Structure 1
């Protein structure tokens, strides 16, 4: 897998019928190791080890509806009350983070209304807050603070 602009972590990979699988510490199972999954796993570990988010607040690939379409969120951090706090859209490293990615997470924002949104392809990362139709880009991702969530 490609080297990313994210900290490395001690991952577990196994071969299943000639295909690589990586262990997901949130879903507690091995999942197919695609380029997007490689980014997702790195980002999960970043949020846990560098931003102190507890594993219990993660929701991975949860279903949602946008209009009549079924969609899946890549990473969602829930607040202590169960509402969306941080929504992260992951792309493969070869997929540019651009207008289409921002449009996708904006649609998710419309439905879920998390406090923070982020997009990453493992090489470039963006975090922002949407308040009253205004986008406020942040220099870093929010740290977990129990009293704020």
Structure 2
């Protein structure tokens, strides 16, 4: 897998049925290592190690109903009250982040109502804070670090 624009993290790998798998410490299992999974696992480590989000508040690849259709988000971080703090959309590194990517995460967020959004392909990372009153988002230089006072 290629080098991404994240700090270096150590991962556990195994070969299974002629496929390489990487251990996901949130899902607590090995998952097939695809280019998108490589970005997702780096993003998870970034959120845990750099932003200090507790593993207990992180959820990975769960199905959600969006306009009656089943969709799957990449990563969600919850607030301690169960509301959603952050939604992350991961793309493999050779997929350019486009307006379509932002439209996709915005559609998800109509249902999820997260305060923050992150879109990454492992090379480029974009962070936004939602302004629901004015129906827009503001780009940020980085995500806020975890704070016990987050509601």
Which residue of 2 is the match for residue 6 of structure 1?
6
Equivalent position SS for 1:111: helix
Deviations 1:96-128 (A, max 9, x none): 001110010010111111010010000000000
Structure 2 unaligned blocks of 5 or more:
none
TM-score, with normalisation over the residues of structure 1? Answer: 0.98
Which residue of 2 is the match for residue 138 of structure 1?
140
TM-score, with normalisation over the residues of structure 2? Answer: 0.96
Structure 1 unaligned blocks of 5 or more:
none
Task: Provide the C-alpha distance between the structure 1 equivalents of 2:148 and 2:74, rounded to a whole number of angstroms.
Answer: 23
Task: Provide the C-alpha distance between the structure 2 equivalents of 1:100 and 1:62, rounded to a whole number of angstroms.
Answer: 21
Deviant stretches of 4+, over 3 Å: none
Q: CA deviation at 1:68?
A: 1.6
Q: RMSD value over aligned CA atoms?
A: 0.7
Task: Provide the C-alpha distance between the structure 2 equivalents of 1:135 and 1:67, rounded to a whole number of angstroms.
Answer: 21
- Within-5 A mapping of 1:1-149: 1-131=1-131, 132=133, 133-149=135-151
Q: CA deviation at 1:92?
A: 0.2
